[in-house]
Amino acid sequence: MASSSPNPDQDHQTVQDHVAEISRIANEINQGSTAWPQYLETATAAIQAFMLFPSFDMILAPQQKVDILNCLQQIAHQNQGSESSSEIADWCSSEWLRLLEHDSEHVDALYGLALYWLYRSQSVLHRIYESDRLSFSSSSSLETHTHGRKSLESSHSLRLDDIEDDMENRLSSDEFIEARTSLQPAAEYFDRAITAAGQQNLVNDEMLSRAAEAYISLGNTSSPRVNQRYYRRAIHLLRRALELGYTLGSSLQQ
């Protein structure tokens, strides 16, 4: 939507004021601040102003726009679940795509879109995790209750059959489909970002580890017929990240 303001100088100043606020927040985040709910209102006001002035990015230096988008996307991610956070995230994705229209190998834009899709998957992955945890707890209780009335061998055989049937059903459930719908483009954009970054000597351990995270989650939500290649890709990426100084979390060291 174009600005209806009759004063271009005022429009310019409005954009600059919001850019200054987001830059201030970005500096605070870099220093360790986690006041995410407080930042949400400022971020929402900023993108609403930017949407009124579609040429706002002409005011910014290229790297300044990237920094603003990264900050806004991080705020949206940390406030997931609210309507305004979704609006911010979607606006950021559209701006990343605009950058790709001018440069299909734009590393920051490719990486930004990869993170956008990875972040989108987090809420459904959390629901899947909680469902798995409750299911495991329930099945463990049932196994304890029935132990002694069935032989260990027959109980183990029945358990494996149940697990296989349950997994096939769950892979076709709405939640698993929703997860893969976000994780597949995340993995694709990560691969494109890593390729473009490699050509420009910009690959870093964070990019590689985030890509591995996407592939691990994609493997966890995909059929055994295909998930091994996702896990192999994740292992390859983690090995490259380790070579660049990445430290594995305790869960991945096992």
- In this prediction, residue 169 carries a pLDDT of 77
Q: Rounded mean pLDDT of 138-155?
A: 46
Quote the tokens at residue 236. Answer: 């390859």
pLDDT recorded at residue 151: 47
pLDDT, tens digit, 9 for 90 and up, residues 215-245 = 999 999 999 989 999 999 999 999 999 999 9
Q: b/e map of 163-196 (b: 16 or more CB within 10 Å)? A: eeeeeeeebeeeebebbbebbbbbbebbbbbbeb
Q: 148 pLDDT exceeds 50?
A: no
Cβ proximity of 47 and 79 under 8 Å? no
Q: What angle do CA 66, 70, 73 make, to 5 degrees?
A: 135
Residue 114's SS3 state is helix
pLDDT of 158 above 60: no
What does the block give as tokens for 169?
Answer: 């059903």
- How far apart (Å, rounded) are the C-alpha atoms in residues 96 and 57? 12
pLDDT at 206 over 70: yes
Task: Write down the mean pLDDT value for the chain.
Answer: 86
Report the percentage of the chain scoring pLDDT > 90: 68
pLDDT tens for each residue of 65-121: 999 999 999 999 999 988 899 999 999 999 999 999 999 999 999 999 999 999 999
Name the band, by pLDDT with cuts 50, 70 and 90, for residue 248: confident
Task: Report the amino acid identity of residue 250.
Answer: S
Q: What is the mean pLDDT of residues 31-56?
A: 92
Question: For 108-137, what is the mean pLDDT?
Answer: 88
Mean pLDDT of 26-43: 96
Give the tokens for residue 154: 């027959």
- Does residue 139 carry a pLDDT above 80? no
Residue 2 is predicted with a pLDDT of: 45
Amino acid at 31: Q
pLDDT at residue 8 tops 90: no
Q: Which residues pair with 150 in a beta bridge?
A: 147
Could you tell me the pLDDT band of residue 246, with boundaries at 50, 70 and 90? very high
pLDDT at 140: 46
User: What is the model's pLDDT at position 12?
Assistant: 82
Mean pLDDT over residues 118-127, rounded? 95
**Is residue 235 classed exposed, middle or buried when 0-12, 13-18 and 19+ CB atoms within 10 A define those classes?**
middle
pLDDT of residue 11: 75
Q: State the pLDDT at residue 182.
A: 98
Interior angle at CA 221, CA 214 and CA 204, nearest 5:
10
Q: How far is CA 195 from CA 95, 138, 188, 201, in A?
A: 21, 44, 11, 10
Global pTM value: 0.85
